[in-house]
Structure 1
Amino acid sequence: MDFQALFQFLEELQQNNHKDWMDANRKHYHAIRNDFVSWLDDLDNKLANIDPEYYPTPGKKGINRINNNLLFHPNKPVYKDHFGAGLDQKTKQGDFYIEIGIKKGVLAGGYWRPDNKLLQSIREGIDYNGEELVKIINKKSFKDTFGGLYAEDEMLKSAPKGYSKDHEHIHLLRYRTFAVIHDLKQEQILAPDFTDYVIAVYKEMLPFRRYLREAVTV
Structure 2
Amino acid sequence: MAGAFKGFGQKAIPFLKALDFHQSREWFQENRALYESDLHEPFCDLVETLSERFLAAGLGLRGDRKKSLFRINRDVRFSKDKRPYNQHLSAILSPDGTKMEQGVFFVYIGVDRCFAGVAWWQPGPELLQAMRKAITAKPAVFRALVAALKKNRLEIDTEGCLKRAPRGFEDVTDADLAQAIRNRHFAVRHNFDPATIHTPALVDDLVDFTIRARPLLDWGRAIQGKAG
Instruction: Give the TM-score taking structure 1 as reference length.
Output: 0.86
Separation (CA, whole Å) in 2 of partners of 1:83 and 1:162 = 39
Match for residue 122 of structure 2 among 98, 113, 121: 113
Q: 2:80 aligns with which of 74, 79, 83?
A: 74
The Cα of 1:98 is off from its aligned counterpart by 0.3
State which of 132, 136, 151 in structure 2 corresponds to 1:141. Answer: 151
CA apart distance, 1:22: 1.4
Confirm or deny that 1:217 pairs with 2:225. Answer: yes
Q: CA deviation at 1:7?
A: 1.9
CA offset at residue 164 of structure 1?
5.0
2:31 matches 1:25: yes
Between the aligned partners of 1:154 and 1:164, the Cα distance in structure 2 is 15
Q: Tell me the CA shift for residue 192 of structure 1.
A: 4.7
Q: Percent identity over the alignment?
A: 23
Q: CA deviation at 1:49?
A: 0.7
Deviation of 1:120 after TM superposition, in Å, equals 1.1
Sort the Cα spacing of 1:217 and 1:72 in 2 relative to 1 into closer, same or farther, 3 A: farther
* Distance apart, 1:191 and its partner CA: 5.0
RMSD of aligned C-alpha atoms? 2.1
Q: Which amino acid aligns with 1:204?
A: R
| SS of aligned partner of 1:57 | coil
Q: CA deviation at 1:89?
A: 4.6
Structure whose residues are more often helix by fraction: 1
CA positional deviation for 1:138: 2.7
Does 199-208 or 31-40 show the bigger shift?
31-40
Confirm or deny: 8 A CA contact 2:7 2:197 kept in the other structure. Answer: no
Distance 2:205 2:61 in 1: 20
Structure 2 residues without counterparts, runs of 5 or longer: 1-5
1:104 deviates by 0.2
Instruction: Output the TM-score relative to the length of structure 2.
Output: 0.83
Structure 1: gaps of 5 or more residues = none
Inter-partner Cα distance in structure 2 for 1:217 and 1:156: 29
Local SS of the residue matching 2:107: strand
Aligned residues: 213
Q: Is 1:156–1:176's contact at 8 Å kept on the other side of the alignment?
A: no
AA aligned opposite 1:77: R
Change in CA separation of 1:179 and 1:87 when aligned onto 2, cut-off 3 Å? same
RCO (CA 8 Å, sep 6+): is it higher in 1 or 2?
A: 2
Give the aligned partner of residue 197 of structure 2. Answer: 189
Tell me the equivalent position of 2:3: none
- Which 10-residue stretch deviates more, 18-27 or 196-205? 18-27
Superposed displacement of residue 76, structure 1: 5.3
Q: In the alignment, is the contact (CA less than 8 A) between 2:94 and 2:101 conserved in 1?
A: no
The alignment partner of 2:138 has SS state of helix
Does the aligned pair in 2 maintain the 1:150–1:179 contact within 8 Å? Answer: yes
